[in-house]
Amino acid sequence: MDFVTKEDATAMILSAKRQAGLTWEGIAEKIDMSPVWTHSAAMGMNAFPRDKAEAIVACLGLPQETVSALTESPTKIWEQTVPTDPCIYRFYEIVGVYGPTLKALIHEKFGDGIMSAIDFDMSVTRVPNEKGDRVKVEMSGKYLSYNAW
């Protein structure tokens, strides 16, 4: 294999993950990154630093050519009308970039289902930080499994 695209890399990662019976937390632990970031980068929504790309390629036994694809800057596109308000837009960006990651991690931890937005709470907290204060958003929703019928 001479040339590997980001899409090829994602497909290979998902296949190797499935075949090895690994979780995103397990993979993330092996490459010393968070599961949320690891999944997002594996889905092509972030670029792996070279050392982390090499680590995940080694961990999953992927072709060496995959490293280049994983380190490329992503094109973050999702199909929806995006609001122009900067604060709301950033939340759309978060869901667009990390939505599939959140879904994958919820499914791994709970099974096939969703987080309720009805039985749900959220808090927004200001966290002092010497580099500039941070916004902390915490969400908690009841897990709802899909019914089989």
Domain that holds residue 58: 6-71
| Within-domain flag for 78 | no
Predicted TM-score of the model (pTM) = 0.76
CATH code, 125: 3.30.1160.10
Is the domain of 93 the same as that of 67? no
Is the domain of 98 the same as that of 136? yes
Q: Is 108 a catalytic residue?
A: no
d(CA 130, CA 133): 7
φ/ψ of residue 125, rounded to 5: -130, 145
Is the domain of 57 the same as that of 90? no
Q: What is the mean pLDDT of the chain?
A: 92
d(CA 144, CA 80): 25
The residue from 34, 116, 140, 145 that is catalytic is: 116
Q: Is 90 a catalytic residue?
A: yes
The residue from 90, 134, 140, 145 that is catalytic is: 90
| Within-domain flag for 76 | no
Tens of pLDDT, residues 32-57: 999 999 999 999 989 999 999 999 99
| Within-domain flag for 77 | no
Please give the sequence-ordered ranges of beta strands (E in DSSP) within 1-149, or none if there are none. Answer: 113-127, 134-145
Q: Is 93 a catalytic residue?
A: yes
Is the domain of 49 the same as that of 99? no
Is the domain of 67 the same as that of 43? yes
pLDDT band at 149 (very low <50, low <70, confident <90, very high): confident
d(CA 34, CA 107): 17
d(CA 105, CA 64): 27
CA count, 13 A, side-chain hemisphere, 55: 15
- Residue percentage of the chain with pLDDT more than 70: 97
| Within-domain flag for 131 | yes
pLDDT over 70 at 79, yes or no: no
Indicate the number of domains in the chain: 2
The residue from 7, 34, 93, 134 that is catalytic is: 93
Nearest in space to 36 (alpha carbons), one of 90, 94, 80, 82: 94
Is the domain of 64 the same as that of 96? no
Tens of pLDDT, residues 102-126: 999 999 999 999 999 889 899 999 9
d(CA 24, CA 33): 10
